[in-house]
Amino acid sequence: MTQFATIFIIVTMVFLFPDTAYACATCFGAPDAPATSGMNWAIITLLGVTGGVMGGVIKTIISIRKKMKSFEKLHNELRHYP
């Protein structure tokens, strides 16, 4: 099945069965409901954890890059040392 056919089927199903396409409590529910508040905090927590992990990965990559540049510089200096 091609990607176009898959997208077409999904869009068609959403238009044929709109009841299944309702938003979650955060987007569609009562703004002061306890479930909505809990969902908001869950989303914020997951974004915070994901952002923290991705920040750590990026920091590690930058650190390795800096160390590699320093190592290459030292290696080139020692290679040209008589």
Q: What is the pLDDT of residue 28?
A: 65
Q: Cα(20)–Cα(25) distance, rounded to whole angstroms?
A: 14
Q: Cα(42)–Cα(51) distance, rounded to whole angstroms?
A: 14
pLDDT in tens, 50-77: 999 999 999 999 999 999 999 999 888 8
Q: Cα(78)–Cα(82) distance, rounded to whole angstroms?
A: 8
DSSP annotation of 18: G
Through-space distance between the first and last CA atoms of the chain, rounded to whole angstroms: 65
Give the chain's mean pLDDT. Answer: 85
Are 44 and 37 in contact by the 8 Å Cβ rule? The answer is no
* pTM higher than the cut 0.75: no
